[in-house]
Each structure stands twice: as structure tokens, then as C-alpha cells.
Structure 1
Amino acid sequence: MRLLSDAELAQILDKEIFHKISDAADSLGLECYVVGGYVRDLFLERPSNDIDVVVVGSGIKVADALRRSLGRKAHISVFRNFGTAQVKYKGTEVEFVGARRESYTRGSRKPIVEDGTLEDDQNRRDFTINALAVCLNKDRFGELVDPFDGVYDMEDGIIRTPLDPDITFSDDPLRMLRCIRFATQLNFFIEEETFDALQRNADRIKIISGERVEEELNKIMMTKTPSKGFVDLQRCGLLPLIMPELSALDIIETKNGRAHKNNFYHTLEVLDNVSRRSDNLWLRWAALMHDIGKARSKRWDPIAGWTFHNHNFIGAKMVPEIFRRMKLPMDAKMKYVQKLVDLHMRPIAIADDVVTDSAVRRLINDAGDDIDDLMILCEADITSKNQVRKQQFLENFRMVREKLTDLKEKDFKRLLQPVIDGNEIMEMFHLKPSREVGTLKQTLKNAVLDNKVANEREPLMQLLMEKAKAMGLC
């Protein structure tokens, strides 16, 4: 972070767009301030392209005056119902709004809005670090207005609300997720009083739409260390309301002196491991959900101890219901996550045994184009504290990857489908689409995958006739 004086702020804002805004506001005799995230990120030395401007008066009038001064290259969009306007100019977007005060009713996060002062506008901001304003009027250009000491909170790495956090979160419960999201993105801590208010108001999240929740969760997922956000969500009681299936993993049961690991914290470790290697949002979701079936599959066995048999299969079946409830996309992205959850034990099983060509061929066939992502997930899943065992797994994974590369180089994937297809089988044996056709196709496919028969017509035809005869089809 960098502490900036008013003179330094004026120097940073010494750009055409800000001087044009200044002139437009002065020509109308209106106070004008750049606010929010843009100002925060100046101090945090983070890149920011979103410029928000508050006008004490009509933001639309200042936006229109700016558009006229910029000429034909500027484009304005006006949203009169919301009292806002957006000006686009040479790749820069500036949002204008009039200063306002807000009041809320208990059952809605939509505020009753009235014209207000700059003080009113800063009072309604979610967090102190987002309540900073820098004046753009010529006679005060660069002057910082920071009534809640947001600069000191940034210096201390603290997320805190400007006013009573209970009112802030109760009025607009989405701010609870934003609180955790900002703490995760900036690697800040949530101030104690503010965190207590998260716990007291967690139940209010129920009035927020799934789409808004999804948006904030995705932003948490795309941070450098997303586990931080999910730990805070669990600690404050929001996670059981948003994603109870994940929250349910946060338990350790002991029986006859034998305990299993905490699958919630294991999951978050896997998520962070994946995040260090990939910016793929949906691979991160697959990491978050890879063990989601463990709570439902957990059983006690007197000999084996705690077991989680078929948790990958159970978890894969849970993915669509979770995505649907959370308003996550139900398209190919969901199918991708579901497939990785379903398959994530396969490379581990291969790596735990002798790495055979046959097993790797089957893995290539089932994972398809997502094989590399699956391997990233599986390698991230090795979180054992036993360094010898961990190293053994990673060495076996290296062998799996070598075989994957070798088989790809041979273009083996192209040969995985037997040269005799289902249509020909139906024609030969006068069958309609049926279980018998599927059995015959799978027999041929298994033989090719196991390298028992060359993927050539003559040996496959011989095998087909033998199987058909055994099934009484000829």
C-alpha cells in the first residue's frame, strides 16, 4: 500500500478524462467526486478501470456535459429510472450518479432512494475502504474526503463497515458476501465487530437471489487463495445456508479410537492447490466439489474403519442439483464439473497400482479433452502428511503423465472406437437399438481398450461372432 497526499492524488488524476469531468461539473456549479473502488485501488496500487463519479446534484447532467465536451468519440448511456449515466471514451468507462441517501424495508434489499449530500452518500457505502472520495472540482482537485478513516483500515488490512454493521448487513444482505469477498481478494481481516454482525445476520442471506450469490462466490473462487473466503463463510454461518453440502464436510468423527480427516479443510487445500496451477473457474469448482459426496457415503466398517465408498459417483449425481439450486450454469460447464468429480478417483487408483497401458487408455477415453485438467485436480488431491506416500503418488502420477503423452503422440485416441459400429451390428443381426447391441459394442470396445484385439476388422469380427453366438443371436 502507498499513502498518498492530496497533492499526489492530484498528480495521479492529472489526466484528460478527469480534467474534462472537472470542467463539466464546474460549468454546472456542482460538486463532483471520484469514489469507491477506483480511489481504494489508487492507495493499494492495484489496476482499476472502473471509474465511479458521485455528483452532489444531477449525475446525468454532468455526464451529458462531459459527453458534449469530448465530442463524437464519446458515447453516453442514460438510465433515468436509476438516476445514473455512463460515458465511454477511448476505452474508458465512467459511471455517474447523484449523491443519495437510502432507506430499506425489512423484506427487501431494494432501497428507497432520495437525493442527498456527499456525507449521505458515503454513509450508505458498504465498507470504509470503499467510502473514500476525491474531489474533482478545480479549486479542490485531488482533495481526499475520508470520514471513516478508510485509509488507516487499508493500512491495517481491515474490512469494516462505516456505520453499525448490523444495519449495514440487514439492509442489504449481499454486503455480507461482499465483505468476505473483499477480505479474500485483498487478503484483509474482517474487523471483530463486523464479523460478529455477519454471524448475527447470516439468515438474511435468504432474501438474496441465487444469481447474486453466484456472482460473489465466483469472485471468491478466482482469488489467489479462495480457501480464506470459504473458511470465513463457514465460520460466520453463511456457508450452511448457501452450500450446506460443503459445510457438512466440516466434521471429524471418532469411533473405537479411529478418526477420519476433516474433509472440509482437505477440500479447501485441494482448491488452493488447483488455484496455484490454473485460472479455470470451473476446474476450481470441480476441486471444491470433488469430495462433496463424502458426507452421504460415509460408513463405519469394523475392519476398515471409516469408508467413503463410491463418494465420487454420489458426488457426481449431486452436482446438477447443487448447480440448479445455486443458479450456476446448467450447460457444458456443469457437465464438465460433474465429469471431473466422477473421474477424480481414477488416476489415483491407477497411480496407487501398476500403471498399465490399458488403464491409461481407458482414462483417456473417458476423460476426453479434459484429461489434463483431471490430472491437475488429482495431483492437487494428494494432501497426505506422509511425505513418503505423497512422493510415491506424485512419482506414479508422473508415470501416468508420461504414458498419456506417449499415447497421445501415437494418436491412440483416434483408435479407441472400434471399426465396427452399432449400426453395422444392428444390420448384421437384425436388431433394433437395444441392450444386446450395447453389450456387443462394449465387448468390442473393452477388447480394444485392453489391447487384447487389434482395432482391425478381421479380429474384431471374429470376436463379435463369438460373443453373438454366446448370446444366442446366431
Structure 2
Amino acid sequence: MNFADFLTSKPVFARIAEAAQTLNIPAYVVGGYVRDLVLKRPSKDIDVVCIGSGIALAEAVGKAAGVNVAVYQNFGTAMLRMDDPVDGYVDVEFVGARKESYRSDSRKPIVEDGTLADDQNRRDLTINAMSIRLNQAGAIGNVPGAAYGDVIDPFDGLTDLKRRLIRTPLAPDLTFSDDPLRMMRAIRFATQLNFDIDPDTFDGIIRMKDRLGIVSMERIIDELNKIILAPTPSYGFKLLYHAGLLDLILPELVALKGVETVDGKGHKDNFFHTLQVLDNVARMSNDLWLRWSAILHDIAKTHTKRFDKRVGWTFHGHEEVGARLVPTLFRRLKLPLNEHMKQVQKLVRLHMRPIPLVKETITDSALRRLLFEAGPDLELLLTLCRADITSKNHEKVQKHLSRFDQVEKKLHDLEERDQLRNFQPIITGELIMETFDLKPSKEVGDIKVAVREAILEGLIPNRYDVAYPFMIAEGEKRGFVVARHVPEPEAPSADTE
């Protein structure tokens, strides 16, 4: 297979080929860019391996193209960004070919200069070990018979792409021992591309799974997040489970697996239910943190499972217990302890709240409370709740979804009328303290709660001109005297200069 015509159409490759020729350095496009080119998938990341100094080649290309080069001397790599007429830009990383050897107790390799074959031998998968020659035909190079644009494929990666197969270039145990993260990458690529994993390769993952323990959690989670963001993430989670890797990463999820039966009453398998909810969310949203909410929404069911002879299995309070587990899990998994964690925690805590609202007798007060608590995350919560409606009975699912449509309409109608997602800023603790000349105290909180409850119960509308006098009345009931009347803040002007 030859991509000379494609290379000619891309100015970036002409620059690299010209610089390589001038420096008398063999150069090759390698790895994922080649794979995606064969699969006709878009890619803006180009990896270039040369037999010599990758930094020198990058600097020559950067000088010719008039672009800055970022050099990483410790790693022997360099990067630059070039404009591209089709893709807008491409990022190119340059590195000299190398060979690596590992000690059994370390992930830090002993690195030496090597050949293209050495570089391809150290790749994780056959489909990522292909390269394309960038030097002109008859020019320097160490691959006999290779011409400009030729695909050099020592491990038959092209055939594996056609067979939709994930396979290691060398013996799986050797490949995975050298870098255990490659086990995660094999499953990640299988999930993203919807490929099968070669049986020998998968058996190698099972044998070598414990070696994942030497890999940092940050690297593991980076791969796991890519699995989560795949079109059908459950495929990757099932592979992780059967390989024994999921038990090392998220044992709390594995603990959900299985069905217990007492007196002929069984509960659903909450592991597979969770994966179904994750897939449902994936069909509706690409939001990583919403997908994490799906993964963790029932995570506490193992903690709250009880059997009642009258009603069967119950999981009372699993949403609250699950929400309390979220920070601990995020900390252990090296996920960000910021607004994303708080959002996942909120969605886990509230994911059961919309379910009772399908009743026709539901009050506006209950709807207002949900609007208030969900705030700006209402749409994400409703998406999670829709995804949580699972059953093998299609008609039953459709019936519940139809009822949920009505709840969603009620919520949006009430939100449009009451603007409850903008509720918190109207009466703040600072406003109460300024009005009554108070310091932070329990009484300030009590007044704030009284105003909030009046709005949620529909006793007063969610407007400053009504909520502020109500606040004053609540303060005076408690014996406080108005020290200063605070006028409603003016809305920002819509005029522009």
C-alpha cells in the first residue's frame, strides 16, 4: 500500500521530506496517524520517527516553515504545529528511533538509539506499529525496497485492520510486561474501534493483569476516560471485567454484579444495569462527567441492600450514600476534586428525585424543590433519569419515558414561570446581614431558609420586590431591627459601546 499521492497533497509532509533529505536522515510517519489514514478517520496528531536526531529534524522543519518548535531534551523529542489547508492545523511530534529494555520491577526503560524495526517492535499493537516512508524513492533509508509513501508493516497490521482485530506485535506477555498500560490501551482501542481482541492477546492481559499495579493511577484513568467516551462504553467495561482489570480499578462497580434471590424474589443485576445506563447516556450526551454520574449512580446499592419479606429487595438511601462516596472515589482515582466532582455528586444524590414526579397528583412544591436543588444541572439530571429507565420489556420502557415527558414539561413550564434556577442569588446571607446589621450566625441562616421555603411552597413568588419584604418580616419576628434598606440591584445594561 502506498500513500504518495496523499503525502503530496499535504504541505507538512513535503516540509518533513525536504528537511530529512537535506539532513540525510531517514524519516517515517508512524503509529496512530497511519492507522487512522488507512481507516479513513480524521487525525490532527502526526508522529514522526527518524533514524537520527528527532530534535534536529524538528528544528530544520520549523525553521523552513517559520514556526516555533518546543524541544524536550530529557525525552529526546520535539513538537511543532503547522497550518493545514484541510484540517486547519496539525501537531507533529518528532523522535529518534529507539529500542527499550525493561527490568521486571520497573516501568522505566533503558533507552538506546535504534532502527525503525526496533521502534516498531516496542509498539503496543500491530495496528499502531505501521509506518509510512517520507524519503523519496532511491534516497537514504534502512528499509530495503521501500519507496516514498510506502507502508512498512512488519506485523501485518493492515490485515488486522481488515479483520477488525486487536493484537500485540510481539508475544503478549512481553509487550504487556514492558508497559502494563498497554493492556488498558488494547481494551481502549477495541472499544473505540469496535474491534475484537485476539484470544492470545486477551489471555495475555488476564495473565499480566496484576502488573498494572506499577502504573500510575493518572495514566490508568486517562485510558479509562477514553473508554468511557467511546460510542458504546459498556463494551470496554465488560472487557475490563472479564480480564480482571476492573476489579483492580473500580472494585465497587464489580461488587454490583450478581443477583441474589430470597423467597423466590430476586433483584436485577446492578452491574449490567449500570452499564446499560452508561450506554443510554452515551447515546444522548458526550459529557464525560454525566457518563461518570451514570457509572456511579447506583454504586452504593451494595451498602444499602436489604430484604423485606413484604416488599422484597430494597436499596433505601443508596443515592445519598452514593453521593457521600463520590469524593472518596474521585480522590482514589485521581479524578479532579473540583466542580466536576461536585456535579457528579449532585447528580448521584438527585437521580431518584424525578421518579416519583410521574404521579398525576404531584404538587408544584415538589417540582420547585427539584428545580431549586438541580439548579443549572437540571438537563443533565433529566438525561440521567431517562437513561436510568431500563427493562427488557420495550413497551414498559416507552410507557415510563412517555410519563417522564410530562414531568419534564411541567418542570420547564414551572421554571419559565418561577425562574427557580436563579433563586439562590436573590436573597443571600450577605443581604440579610447588611439589612439587619448582623454578623454570620444561625439566625441569618434561619431567615434565609424561611424565605427559601416560602418560595418553594409557592407562598411568595421568586421576585426581589416580594421576597425582600418577606425577609424583613421574618427578621422582625425574631426581634431584629432594619438597619438599612437595600434596594434591588439594577440589571446589567444590554447596551454596548
With structure 2 as the length reference, what TM-score do the two structures score? 0.86
SS in 2 for 1:322: helix
Amino acid at match of 2:111: V
Deviation at 1:358, TM superposition (A): 1.5
Deviation at 1:213, TM superposition (A): 1.4
Q: Which residue of 2 aligns with 1:12?
A: 6
Amino acid at match of 1:108: S
1:137 maps to 2:135? yes
Q: Which residue of 2 aligns with 1:112?
A: 110
Unaligned runs of 5+ in 2: 84-88, 138-146, 480-497
Q: Which residue of 2 aligns with 1:251?
A: 258
Deviation at 1:309, TM superposition (A): 0.6
CA gap of 1:155–1:119, structure 2 versus 1, over 3 A, is same
Amino acid at match of 2:303: R
Deviation at 1:421, TM superposition (A): 6.5
1:200 maps to 2:207? yes
Deviation at 1:458, TM superposition (A): 10
CA offset digits 1:294-335 (Å, max 9, x no partner): 111111112211111100000000000000000000001100
SS in 2 for 1:96: strand
CA contact (8 A) 1:418 1:448 kept: no
CA offset digits 1:59-109 (Å, max 9, x no partner): 222222223333xx2222222221212233223322111111101112221
Worse overlay, 151-160 or 167-176: 167-176
Q: Which residue of 2 aligns with 1:68?
A: 63
Q: Which residue of 1 aligns with 2:42?
A: 47
CA distance in 2, matches of 1:401, 1:435: 36
| % same residue | 54
CA offset digits 1:96-144 (Å, max 9, x no partner): 1111110111222121111111111111000000000111110110111
Residue among 90, 93, 96 paired with 1:95: 93
CA contact (8 A) 1:355 1:400 kept: no
- 1:58-457 matches, within 5 Å, as 58-70=53-65, 73-90=66-83, 91-139=89-137, 140-352=147-359, 354-413=361-420, 416=423, 438-439=445-446, 441-452=448-459, 456=466
CA distance in 2, matches of 1:424, 1:83: 59
Deviation at 1:415, TM superposition (A): 7.8
CA distance in 1, matches of 2:297, 2:184: 23
CA distance in 2, matches of 1:416, 1:87: 48
CA contact (8 A) 2:372 2:421 kept: no
CA distance in 2, matches of 1:373, 1:458: 31
Q: Which residue of 2 aligns with 1:26?
A: 21
CA distance in 1, matches of 2:186, 2:428: 56
Deviation at 1:409, TM superposition (A): 2.2
CA offset digits 1:381-429 (Å, max 9, x no partner): 1002344443332122111211122123224327856987667878999
Amino acid at match of 1:122: Q
Worse overlay, 330-339 or 453-462: 453-462
Alpha-carbon RMSD across the aligned residues, in angstroms, is: 2.6
CA contact (8 A) 2:129 2:155 kept: yes
CA offset digits 1:7-49 (Å, max 9, x no partner): xx11111132212212222222222111100110111100011
CA distance in 2, matches of 1:357, 1:414: 15
Q: Which residue of 1 aligns with 2:494?
A: none
CA distance in 2, matches of 1:272, 1:346: 21
Q: Which residue of 2 aligns with 1:472?
A: none
How many residues matched? Answer: 461
Amino acid at match of 1:111: P
CA distance in 2, matches of 1:438, 1:62: 65
Deviation at 1:277, TM superposition (A): 1.0
